[in-house]
Chain A
């Protein structure tokens, strides 16, 4: 959000392996659900954003697979899974 440049740079330090499909999806019709808005603040990678019409979108690149959005928003609004084996973030230090 506010310090977006730093965040992008930080995410750029991590090793990510691309997956064939996104592993977290906003359930259709839930884009404006108030529960989903929590992810905008809560995501450590800043991947959720709210557009002018109050709909939340998710861009999965840079997902740290931490699980915060699943806990904050719940599974009624998010179709949440880990990325398929051998893809996604690969920490070298952890």
Chain B
């Protein structure tokens, strides 16, 4: 009978972080990954904020294959006929330690897996886990390729759908309200062109988010990140809105239409699409967090629902990495005590609560309900766009005075509704 101390299912950021941490501490750990290599199945938008996680990976991220440090933020309110864009630049973004980087997961995860292997973890790619082994009510291992593999403890790091948590009876299938789909193209472009088009110093990067027409008024947004030699361009659309709300547009068309928008087309001109991908994203926030452990099992990363959308920032990767580390620390404690019961493993939750992970989810508990507001995705871009239109407009004949023009747009009912939305947003 094959028996290991720890089995990790899934070689994404959470699984690799757990494997790396455990291997460094001399624990016998096996990671099973269904892809040809870790990263082969993984999609992200592309921005990793490193500050929250630096302390957990001493000496590691400095060597990582990161794409470009992000030195400028962009945000666009996209209306049908017009758009309003703002840029935010910060010299601090160019000083070490840089706060965030664009990344491509197939490269990053593959490199991370090598690091975990060098630390002593055993990584088995091309291996799909099909079930858990139960012994007397506890999870005692997994079944992969028909073979039972036993372990003291199993860590489910199998991503947003987490079929493993379902098999272990920890949760049921997710619903369309709590999930979005991200659809993405990687578009190859020479570095000099990227730097010229985005007004960047050599090697520096930009991040840009789009809201409104990018998703035809549905929940979600568009994103654009600069990589070393490519752009990551995509749209994220809430699955419920995608299938229930007008216009009934097929998912692939969102990205095609977005790409043709005048705000985007010149940026990707002459670029060659080299990959097309899609992936579900957890959007449930605090309410979307599932059970974190059971007897003999821990759940980390997207599998636990650790992704947080605050409109201006979209984060899942640091939570995946940190939760992987905390799962590993919990295992080290349980191992010392020789006790992998649910009760002992629930120290995982205590560690998460003491860290930025669950503290962020607690602080932004209301975020999904606030961001669900359909006015953000249609009304505000159109309304502000129309106001700026009139301010900039030079018509044939006399131009209206500015103040009455503003007053027309800032009508009483409009301001009242805005106040209502702001009141709700106070909880952010």
Q: Which residues of A are interface residues toward B (Cβ below 8 A)?
A: 1-3, 6-7, 10-11, 13-14, 17, 38, 40-46, 64-68, 70-72, 74-75, 81-86, 88-94
Contacts and interface: CB of A to CB of B under 8 A. Distances in A.
Contact of A46 (B37, B105, B252): B252
Contacts of A1: 250, 252-253
Most chain B Cβ neighbours within 10 Å, of A41, A45, A91: A91
B414 interface: no
Interface in B361-406: none
Nearest 6 CB-CB pairs, A to B?
Answer: A86-B126, A94-B105, A94-B106, A44-B278, A66-B278, A10-B276
A92 B249 CA distance: 28
A74 B34 contact: no
A93 B274 CA distance: 9
Nearest to B127: A85
Interface in B40-73: 40-44
Given A1-B252, A42-B239, A71-B176, A92 B275 contact: yes
Interface stretch (B149-157, B178-186, B189-197, B351-359): B178-186
A44 B251 contact: yes
A41 B230 CA distance: 29
A91 B196 CA distance: 28
Given A13-B276, A85-B125, A93-B104, 5 more contacts: A1-B253, A41-B242, A44-B278, A72-B239, A85-B127
A6 B250 CA distance: 13
B126 A71 contact: no
Nearest to A12: B276
Contacts of B179: 71
Contacts of A92: 106, 274-275
B347 interface: no
Interface residues of B, number: 53
A13 B250 CA distance: 20
What's the dominant secondary structure at chain B's contact region? mixed
B173 interface: yes
A62 to B, nearest CB: 9
B326 to A, nearest CB: 25
15 contacts: A3-B253, A41-B243, A42-B251, A64-B276, A66-B43, A85-B127, A85-B144, A89-B277, A91-B41, A91-B277, A92-B274, A94-B42, A94-B43, A94-B44, A94-B108
Contacts of A83: 34, 128
Contacts of B250: 1-2, 40-41, 43, 46
Nearest to A3: B256
B242 A74 contact: no
Contact of A13 (B36, B253, B275, B280): B275
Most chain B Cβ neighbours within 10 Å, of A6, A13, A41, A44: A44
A85 B239 contact: no
A44 B183 contact: yes
Given A45-B252, A82-B128, A68 B278 contact: yes
What's the dominant secondary structure at chain A's contact region? loop
A28 B169 CA distance: 25
A86 to B, nearest CB: 3
A94 B109 contact: yes
A3 B252 contact: yes
A81 B161 CA distance: 10
Contacts of B126: 85-86
B104 A81 contact: no
A2 B163 CA distance: 33
Given A89-B41, A91-B41, A45 B186 contact: no
B173 A74 contact: yes
Contact of A94 (B39, B144, B185, B252): B39
Contacts of B35: 86, 90
A77 B134 CA distance: 28
B357 to A, nearest CB: 23
Contacts of B106: 91-94
B74 interface: no
Nearest to B128: A85
A42 B181 contact: yes
Contacts of A94: 39-40, 42-44, 104-109, 275, 277
Nearest to A40: B250
Contacts of A42: 181, 239, 242-243, 251
A41 B249 contact: yes
Contacts of A45: 252, 278
A91 B184 CA distance: 12
